[in-house]
Amino acid sequence: MSAPPSPAPSPLPPLLEVQALRAELATRGGPLNMLDDVSFTLGHGRVLALVGESGSGKSATAFSIMGLLDPPARVAGGSVRFAGRELVGLAEAEMRRLRGNRIAMIFQDPMMTLNPVLTIGAQIVETVLAHAPVGRAEARRRARDVLGRVGVPGPEERLACHPHQLSGGLRQRVAIAIALLHQPDLIIADEPTTALDATIQAQILREVRALVTERRTALLWITHDLSVAEQLADDIAVMYAGRIVERGPATALLRQPIHPYTAGLIASLPRGRRGSRLTPIPGLPPTLASRPSGCAFRPRCGVAGPACAADPPWRDRLAGSAPGGAVRCVNPGQAVAA
Ligand SMILES: Nc1ncnc2c1ncn2[C@@H]1O[C@H](COP(=O)(O)OP(=O)(O)O)[C@@H](O)[C@H]1O
Ligand SMILES: [Mg+2]
């Protein structure tokens, strides 16, 4: 007798689901779009890199998710679901509770995390004690340990320092250590390693990657640097002028970019892929007030045509293979040939 068919396991929803998120900036001339139709999902233990040049809306995306967008900017539409719960419109007290426990943010400016009047040791030990059933001696040991793991030399001596006694780079490493100690389900990191030298950055990325894998933390890592995304991410979403223009598995997207903007970012990597010379994308990203209609990249795009004046729809990056990601370009074939 054959066993009765077992019910299909219901798949868990992704930890973070961002759907058609919109944010605006109020101005005297009326609201300007900061984010338009931003959508992505992020599962437990996954790393998504959000990449794009300065001004593309990466920080606005992070702050919108965290409920930290301040007037005159505001979330104007869409949905952010965290573990099945809607965060858009959530009461501030609830949001603060989530930020203290389940979601941690690493800011560009570490002083957004650090308290200037407390020693590093006091801040880290408090964080350990708040999240693990250990005594002070063990908490201090863990504090030294985590500082060592993010590349802080002489961790014991640093514990007695106040934030202003450390360099900017050391402060940032301490802020990263604190975010990791919170053991959140989700970490959102907004270019925290940009100011650090390449060796320290690589060490931190390795450590963050290991901890995320160990603890199945979901990580949204924002960077303007595709080589950081390459070192760290499972998936990449490329942002331009307030929209995501291409997203997919990191390896596939870097090997075969479809959107001309993604291709341009890769071609401008200093290492020069395919042995080619570094080729920067011509021109600059638009300001909020000067974003073109349709595909906002078209004034800088080598393959744009009249069809690009209309909003490009989403399509699969690779024909008939949704897991390969999606792209928002009416002209994707030509980008591959370019
Ligand atoms: N408070 C603000 N006032 C005016 N413009 C803003 C404000 N915040 C963001 N912007 C504009 O919104 C756009 C997106 O900014 P941001 O999210 O910081 O981009 P990124 O993090 O990708 O560099 C940029 O054009 C930026 O100038
Ligand atoms: Mg930013």
> 21-44: per-residue pLDDT in tens?
999 999 999 999 999 999 999 999
User: What pLDDT, in 10s, does the model give residues 120-142?
Assistant: 999 999 999 998 899 999 999 99
Q: Taking all residues of the chain, what is their mean pLDDT, rounded to a whole number?
A: 91
Q: Which of 141, 110, 132, 144 is nearest to 215 (CA)?
A: 132
pLDDT of the residue at 278: 81
- Whether 130 is covered by a domain: the verdict is no
How far, in Å, CA of 291 to CA of 157, rounded?
A: 50
DSSP class per residue in 5-47: PPPPPPPPPPSEEEEEEEEEE--TT--EEEEEEEEEEE-TT-E
Position 51 scores a pLDDT of 98
- Segments forming the whole domain that contains residue 31: 13-89+234-286+304-338
> How far, in Å, CA of 230 to CA of 15, rounded?
22
Instruction: State the CATH number of the domain containing residue 243.
Output: 3.40.50.300
322 located within any domain: yes
Q: Whose CA is closest to atom 26 on ligand 1? A: 55
Q: What is the pLDDT of residue 2?
A: 54
Gap between the terminal Cα atoms of the chain: 60
Cβ of 52 less than 6 Å from ligand 1 = yes
* % the chain with pLDDT above 90: 76
Residue of 221, 226, 288, 290 to mutate, ligand 1, most atoms within 8 A of C-beta: 288
In a domain, 29, yes or no: yes
Which mutation among 27, 34, 244 tests ligand 1's pocket best, with the greatest number of atoms within 8 A of CB? 34
Count of domains observed in the chain: 1
Please say if the pLDDT value at position 338 is more than 70: no
Please say if the pLDDT value at position 1 is more than 70.
no
DSSP class of 311 = P
The identity of residue 313, as a single letter, is P
The pair phi, psi for residue 111, each rounded to 5°, is: -70, -10
Are the CB atoms for 58 and 50 separated by under 8 Å? yes
Structure-block tokens of residue 246: 């291409």
What six digits make up the tokens of 173?
Answer: 């490493």
Least confident of 205-219, 232-246, 261-275: 261-275
Q: What angle, rounded to 10 degrees, do the helices at 198-215 and 168-181 form?
A: 0
For the segment 242-299, what is each residue's pLDDT rounded down to a tens digit? 999 999 999 999 999 999 999 999 998 876 455 556 888 999 999 999 999 999 999 9
CB of 56 within 6 A of ligand 1: the answer is yes
Check residue 157 and give its pLDDT. Answer: 94
